[in-house]
Structure 1
């Protein structure tokens, strides 16, 4: 049974204004993204067309092919036009062979004209369409399994992380977690993978503090969780990370291998990995179009802001980011049920009334986004190594989740900041969740904070500060180049206290401005994946 959470008495005009301002702040960034492509967007398109594999040094063939095209004719017109022109001219019999020959410098690329141009673009669309049909089939397969096996009987879905570095060790841990009650298994990525400008190939066994995100690892874990789903009688979801320099490619691979959730925040890579802002916004728009098509739920990363900024003073920046993430996601085609917007239990427990403020913040997020699942994150910043205190804090965190009707609850570990959790730690953490949900899950029905009490007042205060911040962002029409106001706000350290200018950061050299229309120098930009994702077509 679903129970409606208690409602805050927020000013409807303030809520509408917050969304209007978020749209005004985000729209120029969308236009910026539409005018650019990136190396990873072009590689993702070729992956949808079926290109796989890597050379003996494990450099993917797709990297070789995109690099060769860029070196000879540029990417302003898209990668698929020169690639499929080369195939039609007989440079190679298939895409993989063409990439192999390109790696050795034995292929000549050009920008075709006339019938050759039309033929190349028709051939490219046909091959990319086949990949999108695979994504569609995988979405349909998920829906069939959910109809047959069922979803978890109630929310929040219990979300638990596994990551040993070795996919063969991850699989039994993930299956054990599912048997003990986890509804969502997240395979955390190897440290630093977000900064790799390529996607590793094949099954991996040597990650650091995580396991590499690869297409084969996705396939293996999805197959294992399908077996366990049948065993436990409910569909167990799989999560990974579509972020970093290869965000579009990983999104495409997730769609091809039926992952169910992906970490996909519009600003996380900018703030916490120093990835160029323009590259990030271009990549996230394409990746979210893929997620929309694949029926994947995104998880956003607002919880990270509170690990670098104070969770009380910066609470409104979480709300602003949630509103921006909502705008960017819906613009890319995602629906409310796919918006796992992030927020976290990160107030210093020594602060008076910290629990009441956590309730206020969680209720505010729940009410602003009533149809989104939301992803509620456990304490990390103030976990000290005292496992008894940590276990208690996680219990309080679980209680807030129960009282406010969160949709996705990440399981907190009492050994956070001490060691990588053992299986026994995860089992104890799941016991904590089960106890709270069994004992207090119905509190969402009974909990109604008084009209002008502490919780209501705090929620209104945070919403008001969020509106003020958005007003300041939109009003900034300064002379710092022609960058949108939101990019200037990011450069000023507005979110998470991280200052990231739009003309700096990793991956900037992989950003390419599109050829806007046909000119004597070229045929204009074309990307069949983008076109079909926006059309909703498969041919």
Structure 2
């Protein structure tokens, strides 16, 4: 992607290699925890791959009803697959949704089968979950077909948010944004949905500062963007959020409905939603394995740290998080072209040399991760409600993105911190982006900071501070660092937070056909490089 840019900061390759080795050491213990645990959401996601959908008359999804009943009768230590497909095979229900309804009514008794019964249940589960995996593969191929049929937008991709709360109004805004130049449309999620331990069902017309993430809303928006893609002759990408207590399920639904990007950060839910760390890391690994299989690009959330911490003092924590996010993503099977690491233009504009500092931090991210589709986030913390100052600040943000060769440029709104932006605000913001990119879009080819000048020296200082912090994390553990408020000043103890009760240690003999296939996918990914966008034809 940008690996041909060449080094502009004179970074020491040995220091960069050390930083990555330390990030692996810091992240490996939480990977081991994730490998030895399951969660209610992972088990529900597995059932969704097998075709369970819909909700009862109280609005509770059938996957929740089914997993809760299995957990109450036999526990989740061995996974839901053996008990569920044992009953499906022996009692011959029409489908899993019918089984869920009977389980809710108390008319089904689950057991943990053994011997030939267990073998038969495993085979049936692999068949049905494998059908869902093939749907992920099919949607990946369909994305590739459409991208090759239409034109691929040039970088940086212009990324714009819609957030009306009403999916049908979101569609109007999304299509208008695409016509005005947006390459990626993000449907921001309803406030608080990340704390719901279920995925709402159906199309929704009411949300809180956003629109609920549901399978039907995903389908409707994907259909609308496919329509406008054909009209414009370029593929418009769709983004949502795979985070919170239902991260694995939303990842599966995104793959089934051909979303292209998902916000999926390793620590965001822990830090900013107070979700239990073990639950988060366990759910996140499965979700990222799904994203890897489905060809989805993830966006991480390092920009959020700079809304609570000083963007200069805490710059090295962003770098540390990026390195840990990269390790956890690759361990889960994601390739460089799928790892959209985050960073942001959040330095106080009154700080002397603030723009030079922004360039140093942005260039450091670009050079550390040359083949990653970095997501550059606009100013929010220092937007004051003065729309003229905000418009100027967003122009500087766009210029920094052009100068440093960013991959994904989120559109900054001049009305940030004042009102919920109208379509007219989005139109003006897109004009700002288009002017800067038209005038200076290739300026990164000419930017060559002096080797011992302010920008290069600052970047090397941040990297050195990041290495020092990673060494301390390796000594004390990542969970301890999170508990001590290292990232974003948020203190989150390992045993605290929401959702801990939904996390279970896997027993010997734990069986999950989705996990088996996704682990196989990881092994193949680790065996050698794949071209960006290539589909991996694995037989589930």
TM-score range, shorter chain: over 0.9
- Cα distance in 2 for partners of 1:475, 1:298 equals 29
State the shift of 1:309 in Å. Answer: 0.5
- Cα distance in 1 for partners of 2:258, 2:186 equals 14
- 2:30 corresponds in structure 1 to 29
- 1:97 corresponds in structure 2 to 98
Count of paired positions: 523
Alignment of 1:168-179 (within 5 A): 168-179=168-179
- Cα distance in 2 for partners of 1:488, 1:38 equals 22
Q: Is the 8 A contact 1:130 1:538 kept in 2?
A: no
Of 473, 478, 491, the match for 2:483? 491
- 2:492 corresponds in structure 1 to 500
- Cα distance in 1 for partners of 2:132, 2:107 equals 27
Over the aligned positions, Cα root-mean-square deviation in angstroms equals 1.0
Q: Is the 8 A contact 1:5 1:405 kept in 2?
A: no
- Cα distance in 2 for partners of 1:186, 1:422 equals 15
- 2:71 corresponds in structure 1 to 70
- 1:241 corresponds in structure 2 to 241
Q: Give structure 1 stretches of 5+ with no counterpart.
A: 477-484, 518-523
- 2:297 corresponds in structure 1 to 297
- 1:525 corresponds in structure 2 to 510
- Cα distance in 2 for partners of 1:346, 1:474 equals 28
- Cα distance in 2 for partners of 1:492, 1:93 equals 52
- Cα distance in 1 for partners of 2:94, 2:506 equals 29
State the shift of 1:4 in Å. Answer: 2.4
State the shift of 1:469 in Å. Answer: 0.1
**TM-score with structure 2 setting the length:** 0.96
**TM-score with structure 1 setting the length:** 0.96
Q: Is the 8 A contact 1:514 1:525 kept in 2?
A: yes
- Cα distance in 2 for partners of 1:267, 1:366 equals 21
Q: Is the 8 A contact 1:75 1:512 kept in 2?
A: yes
1:50-108 CA-partner distances (Å, limit 9, x unpaired): 00000111100000000000000000000111000011111633201100111111110
DSSP 3-state at the match of 1:240? strand
DSSP 3-state at the match of 1:89? helix
- 1:191 corresponds in structure 2 to 191
State the shift of 1:475 in Å. Answer: 1.4
Question: Is 1:18 aligned with 2:19?
Answer: yes
Q: Is the 8 A contact 1:40 1:249 kept in 2?
A: yes
- Cα distance in 1 for partners of 2:96, 2:296 equals 28
Q: Is the 8 A contact 1:149 1:230 kept in 2?
A: yes
Question: Is 1:79 aligned with 2:70?
Answer: no
- 2:520 corresponds in structure 1 to 535
Question: Is 1:145 aligned with 2:130?
Answer: no
- 2:413 corresponds in structure 1 to 413
Alignment of 1:36-55 (within 5 A): 36-55=37-56
Q: Which moved more, 1:93-102 or 1:173-182?
A: 93-102
Instruction: Give the 4+ runs in structure 1 shifted more than 4 A.
Output: none
- Cα distance in 2 for partners of 1:166, 1:42 equals 30
- Cα distance in 2 for partners of 1:86, 1:475 equals 48
DSSP 3-state at the match of 2:10? coil
State the shift of 1:150 in Å. Answer: 1.6
- Cα distance in 2 for partners of 1:6, 1:220 equals 44
- Cα distance in 2 for partners of 1:161, 1:380 equals 14
State the shift of 1:392 in Å. Answer: 0.4
- 1:57 corresponds in structure 2 to 58
DSSP 3-state at the match of 1:159? strand
Q: Is the 8 A contact 1:6 1:447 kept in 2?
A: no
- 1:117 corresponds in structure 2 to 118
